[in-house]
Structures are given as C-alpha cells and as structure tokens.
Amino acid sequence: MNDLSARTVADRSLYLCLPARPDIDSFLPSCITGGVDLVQLRDKQLDARNLAGVADRCLRICSDFAVPLIVNDRPDIALQVGTAGVHVGQDDVSPVTARSILGPHAIIGRSTHTVAELERAATEPVDYISAGPVEPTPTKPGRPGTGFAYIETAVETSTVPVFVTGGVSPATVPALATAGVRHFVVVRYLTEAPDPAKAARELRDAIDRAIDRES
C-alpha cells in the first residue's frame, strides 16, 4: 500500500476514471501533467490477473507524480498491487469489507445515486463519496441522471468530500461549482480526447476558475 493517505483526498479536485487501454503509458502521464490529481482504474472486463497487471503499470506512473491510484470494485487487487485504495459501488463489496481487507489508512470511496444511499454512506467507513451521474452517461448504461437537486443535497450533507460524476467538461463545471461542487470525476472528456494533456489543462483551468469565483 502506498503512503498517499486518505487525508489528501479533500485536496484533490480532478479525478480521472479510466479503463485499461493500450496507450496507458503515454495517456495517463499526459492527463496527470494536465491537471488530474486522483486516478481510478475501472475495467469490468479484465480478469484478476490482467487487471492486476494494468493496475501495476498505472501505479508506477501515479507514484512518479504523487497521485493516488484507486482500483474499482476489487480490494483484493488493491491489496495485491499496493494501490492507495478502492472504490466500491452499490453492488460491489461493502466499505466495511473493503476496510477490513485494506486497513485503516487506505482510501475507500463509495458510489451514491439516491438520498437513501447517501444516508447509508454516512454510516460507512468511507473517505469520499461519488454522487451522480448528474446526467445520463454511456459509462453507466441504463442509469438515469440524478439532476442537480441530489448533487446539492450530497454536497450540503456529506461529511466527506463529494466527487460529482456525469458529463463533466469545461462547459458544465461552472454550474456544478455554483451548486457547491468542488471535486469532479471525468471519463469521456479525457478518454476520448485527441490531445489528453490539452484537454486536462482546459478542464483543470475551468475547475480552478469556477472554484475561485465561488469561494
């Protein structure tokens, strides 16, 4: 387990969630140099061996930049590879189980989509939650958007950092920041970008400007 502790999560604002991809050795450094400061490897298609191999490659890159790496769904892989922690959804292992596997210093994240899930997360050993998707997204097929009302509730009531998901881009950041959002999860805006470093810089600049304006 690397030494990027959970207390650093509140200082992170641009969270990249990415699948395994053949150009990860160039793509991931480009995103981080552009402004990504937290990374999650999420790939539901890989078996454990291949997922661990990709996680190890990502960890080497993230460690060079002092950026925490989170693995989606698999605390066993997080423990094996030594990542900073794990992110679990509502249908994955519980945060209690993840914490028992990874120990007190791991970063544990939890997906929430409803007020009931948000309230449950408040009783769980998590270091941050994700809220959303604000609008429907191809990365979560079949899941409706939560809209802004849920995001505002999450930001107002959560005692841990809230990372918002769903359609994050420079165009959507200002309205999200006005709703109180300070932590943003991005997938397609970077994973589909022809120039990921440039796209990351544009997104990070939009986040910094919006947060400064709302502070």
Domains observed in the chain: 6-214 (3.20.20.70)
CA 40, CA 68: separation in Å to the nearest integer? 9
Q: Which stretches in the chain have pLDDT values below 70? A: 1-7, 136-145
DSSP category for residue 180: T
Closest CA to 160 of 110, 95, 104: 110
Collapsed DSSP state (helix, strand, coil) of residue 128:
strand
- At residue 180, the pLDDT reads 94
Nearest to 108 by CA among 97, 119, 117: 97
What pLDDT is attached to residue 132? 84
Q: How far apart are CA 148 and CA 197, in angstroms?
A: 29
pLDDT of residue 8: 81
pLDDT given at position 4: 56
- For 32, residues 6+ apart whose C-beta sits below 8 A from its C-beta are 39, 61, 62, 65, 67, 200
State the pLDDT at residue 134.
84
pTM of the model: 0.93
Distance from C-alpha of 13 to C-alpha of 42, rounded to nearest angstrom: 19
Output the pLDDT for position 140: 60
